[in-house]
Amino acid sequence: MPINKVSSNRQGSKQSLDDFFASRKDNQQRNSGNKQSNSQGSKSNNGYKSQNNNNSGRNNNGNTRDENSGNGLYPIPQHLVELLKKSTANFSLSFVRLMEWRINDDATEKIKDPKDLKDQNKSILSAKKFCDDANKKLPNIQNELNLIHNRQKEIISELGTLPIEIKAKLISPFISGLGAGHPNETGMILDRNTGCPFIPASSIKGVLRLAYAINLAKDNQDIIEDKELDKYFGSTDANNSKHGQLVILDAYPTSAPKIKLDIMNPHYSDYYGKKENHKLPIETENPVPIKFISVKEGTEFIFRAFFLPFHSETFTENDKSAIKAAFKKAFNIVGFGGKTVIGYGRFETIK
């Protein structure tokens, strides 16, 4: 069965890594006094790429050494490392796979201790590496972005009623998927085909629904009836579920976005972590800087939507104006993506 096959492959991969680490430790112990180094890197016998703090060369167990990379390892075959480092590679693949791991004498682990100064520096270098990698690869996806925009225009022309297309520019950084799965625990939502940051339609719908409700509340309504929102955004009520009649498409940049290095700096990690000796936030705790990548302000996105009415429903320009007003509220007040409370994800409309 396919499931058993996948399980077997994973088990084999884990076994090969364990063999690799055990072999490396044995070779290091046998050759602890050997300082010989060569000037040419190479591929390890089992296909995994490793770096040491020594000069570039080949160590006794066949691993590539690079003094600029630190004492680390990419736990994937070297031919994949070489492919993912090319400027034409998909950034969404290299972002999750080119994560450097540290090799200790007793264990191999991700660089993860936020209060260890060495690990802080490693984490910062890792985030900067991903930032530089993105800015090297994303400029090569312009043709693919053009195809995406052309396809969305075709969808609207064939299916849409009262189409809406709004071009907006970021006036603050944008980040989405910060809590998504990633070895650094600072992820980002990327298009699987292009590796480009984008705003999923489901996220836009949620923000737009809130913005539309805010606009309704401005009319001094004490209670906003669900039916006033259901017309556009649908309902998940078990007794009256229905899909919305407003179709929203994913929002993509008009051109390759610039990626920047960003930071969050929690000051009371022990308090928030509910450590026994830290029942109150105190100033004696050291701040823990966490680096992550975000889309730089100035990036232009295109937001597209259209109405797909039921047979008994009709829409007018008033409906279109209401949705445009909701977009404006979402751009200025609500924000898209993560960290909107502190001003991230704000846009301004481009006329």
Given a cut of 90, is residue 9 above it in pLDDT?
Answer: no
The mean pLDDT value for 308-323 works out to 87
Tell me the C-alpha to C-alpha distance, in Å, between residue 122 and each of 179, 188, 329. Answer: 20, 20, 40
Cα–Cα distance for residue pair 343/205, rounded to 1 Å: 20
Indicate the pLDDT class of residue 205, thresholds 50, 70 and 90: very high
pLDDT at 324 over 50: yes
- Residue 120: predicted pLDDT: 45
One-letter amino acid for residue 99 of the chain: M
Per-residue confidence band for 72, with pLDDT thresholds at 50, 70 and 90: low
| Mean model confidence pLDDT for the chain | 76
- Asked whether the predicted pLDDT for residue 41 surpasses 50, the reply is no
Instruction: Specify the pLDDT at position 278.
Output: 67
Distance in angstroms (rounded) separating the CA atoms of residues 4 and 133: 36
Confidence (pTM): 0.73
Res. 234 pLDDT band, cuts 50 70 90: confident
- pLDDT score recorded for residue 212: 93
Residue that has been written with the tokens 């890197």 in this structure: 41
Task: Note the pLDDT of residue 29.
Answer: 54
**CA-based nearest residue to 232, from 325, 107, 141:** 325
Which residues are CB-contacts of 170 (< 8 A; sequence separation ≥ 6)? Answer: 295, 296, 297, 298, 299, 300, 301, 345, 346, 347
Could you give the percent of the chain with pLDDT greater than 70?
A: 69
Those residues with Cβ within 8 angstroms of residue 223's Cβ, 6 or more apart along the chain or in another chain: none
Dist. CA 322–CA 199, nearest whole Å? 21
Q: What is the mean pLDDT of residues 214-236?
A: 80
Lowest-confidence pick of 28-37, 252-261, 334-343: 28-37
DSSP 190: B
Question: How wide is the angle at C-alpha 122 spanned by C-alphas 120 and 127, nearest 5°?
Answer: 95
* 218: three-class secondary structure by DSSP: coil
Which pLDDT band, with edges at 50, 70 and 90, does 103 fall under?
low
Query: ∠ CA(81), CA(83), CA(88), 5° rounding?
Result: 135
Q: What's the whole-number mean pLDDT along residues 294-322?
A: 91
**pLDDT, mean of residues 90-104:** 78
* Residue 283 pLDDT: 74
Higher pLDDT, 200 or 184: 200
Least confident of 58-72, 107-121, 219-233: 58-72
Q: What is the pLDDT of residue 196?
A: 96
**155 pLDDT more than 50:** yes
Q: 202 versus 102: which is more confidently predicted?
A: 202
Check residue 280 and give its pLDDT: 76
- The reported pLDDT for the residue numbered 108 is 44
> In the structure, what pLDDT confidence band is assigned to residue 315 with cuts at 50, 70 and 90?
confident
